[in-house]
Amino acid sequence: MRQFPLEALDLAPGRLVEWRLHRTGERGGGAGEGPVRRASFNQDKHFTVAEEGRREDDEFSSWLAVTFEVPGALDRRALESALLHFARRHEVLRCEFRRLAGELACEPLRPEDIGLTAVDVGEFESTEELRTFLADGFKERIDTLSWPLFLMGAVVRDDVSTVYLAFDHIVCDGMSMPNVVSDVRTAYTSYAAGRDVVLPTAGSYLDFAQEQRNHYLSISESDSRLDYWKSFIARNGEFFPRFPLDLGIEPGRTYPTVNEAGPLLDARQTAELESRCRAVGGKAFMGVLAAVAIALRQAGGPGVYRGLMPVSERGRGDWLHSMGWFVNTMPIEFSVAEDEDFAEVMANVRAGFTEMLRSVDVPFVRVWELLAPDEFALRTWPFPVNFFSYVDMRKCPGAEHHEDWRPTAHVWASRSNGTSSWFQRDTSGLHINSIYADTPQSRRTMTDLRRSLRRVLLEISRCGTIPVQRHGDWEFLHTRAYSR
């Protein structure tokens, strides 16, 4: 499973069917019974940005989506049952959000109070027409301020059908996408065979949000749990770590986005990279992060890497199989000086990551609000921010079936004032997806950086050494069909 633009999905023509969520009962399932459910810090900030953009007619929109395949003739009744089971299984998917005394409240419908309506959209004769329809529909119909907050459908064919689900970020994160596939595909197989659906326990994200608020809503700027952030800010000079290369971004302005994806290493090369990392006491993701830092330094960046890194919070409780925004964002820093060899850089990465993990529980949004209140009032990060994300898709729920299910993940954002890159490892190797502001300088910078990064990764995987800086060639995929 990997992540790349929807426009690059190899999607054969077919007949499009959608299943649209509707209410069959009253909201809240008994409003006034028990305490009001509150949104998480991530959700509150996301919703606030949408509200402010709507008021000022300057809206930022985004979505996350996933597709997977069902071979043979589609059992439409079984798929509809599986999709309804999925929506009822995860409380956050049944939530409506509204302001209540200044805070964002969640009002979940009861599982029995939602239903699905099947809509035959029609036949599509070309891949391009189909991809455009889906992309436009996700942009226009997924609205942070309106329920429902996700879409479901399938492209039906005689030999194999493609199922898709697209979500607003307020109800999920990237690590939720494998759970979507595992839930729906497992339930479909069970319903088609006339069996009961058996899935692992999935705790409610609303419970997670409440637990998080109980721990961190009352903390103040002087709380010792913010010391890691404060020390980072003191060395960095500001709250956000800047992306160190020129993207041609004008202050206070956002731009349409470029969404690119492509391979970095094949399976053998990625295994070699991991072996080199383990030989010096590190892990594969540390090697990728080290390579990014080296490539940035060789492109003109500093000898100390500083960036933000999303960290999953699913490791405790019953969250592994849940839908929700279980991501904290933490700063990480380490030396990548020119005179250090690969083993030394890896030791620095390992030490920086270990230090970061000691303070990983403090929510990023809450820290942002306390330590950078002026920037917290903005609708976007104030300037291009250095950002690194890595996921080993081979370790996700349902990964043992990915060769058959052929799942793909997709992320889209309407505008940006910087760049974000996501690295994924699957059985075929290491891949990257980048979304960045569309300026001529951004395109030049990101193209050069990707070439340098691949060269660094190849050198590490082959020799366990850092290459001397030079120009290389690498054809990077953009919107061409991306073979899975």
27 and 107 share one domain = yes
Position 474 scores a pLDDT of 36
CATH classification of the domain holding 399: 3.30.559.30
169 and 264 share one domain = no
Give pTM, 2 decimals.
0.94
Q: Which domain holds residue 74?
A: 2-209
468 lies in some domain:
no
Which strand (E) or helix (H) includes residue 455? helix 440-463
330 and 429 share one domain = yes
192 and 272 share one domain = no
Number of structural domains in the chain:
2
DSSP 8-state class, residue 323:
-
198 and 273 share one domain = no
pLDDT per residue rounded down to tens, the chain (484 residues): 999 999 999 999 999 999 999 999 765 444 445 567 899 999 999 999 999 999 988 778 899 999 999 999 999 999 999 999 999 999 999 999 999 888 899 999 999 999 999 999 999 999 999 999 999 999 999 999 999 999 999 999 999 999 999 999 999 999 999 999 999 999 999 999 999 999 999 999 999 999 999 999 999 999 999 999 999 999 999 999 999 999 999 999 999 999 999 999 999 999 999 999 999 999 999 999 999 999 999 999 999 999 999 999 998 779 999 999 999 999 999 999 999 999 999 999 999 999 999 999 899 999 999 999 999 999 899 999 999 999 999 999 999 999 999 999 999 999 999 999 999 999 999 999 999 999 999 999 999 999 999 999 999 999 999 998 764 443 333 333 333 3
476 lies in some domain:
no
Position 317 scores a pLDDT of 76
As to burial, measured by CB atoms within 10 angstroms (0-12 exposed, 13-18 middle, 19+ buried), residue 470 is exposed
Going from the C-alpha of 35 to that of each of 180, 207, 210, the distances in angstroms are 29, 12, 11
203 and 340 share one domain = no
What is the rounded end-to-end Cα distance, in angstroms, of the chain? 8
92 lies in some domain:
yes
198 and 287 share one domain = no
477 lies in some domain:
no
204 and 261 share one domain = no
Quickly count helices (H) and strands (E) in the chain: 13, 17
112 and 159 share one domain = yes
478 lies in some domain:
no
β-pairing, 255-266 with 415-416? antiparallel
218 lies in some domain:
no
Cα 317-320-326 angle, rounded to 5 deg: 85
What is the spatial distance between Cα 459 and Cα 277, in angstroms, rounded to a whole number?
12
186 and 236 share one domain = no
Q: Any idea which residue has 């028990």 for tokens? A: 34
Position 33 scores a pLDDT of 53
Give residue 65's region: left, alpha or beta (phi > 0; psi -120 to 50).
beta
CATH classification of the domain holding 119: 3.30.559.10
204 and 232 share one domain = no
Which strand (E) or helix (H) includes residue 68? strand 62-71
220 lies in some domain:
no
483 lies in some domain:
no
430 and 367 share one domain = yes
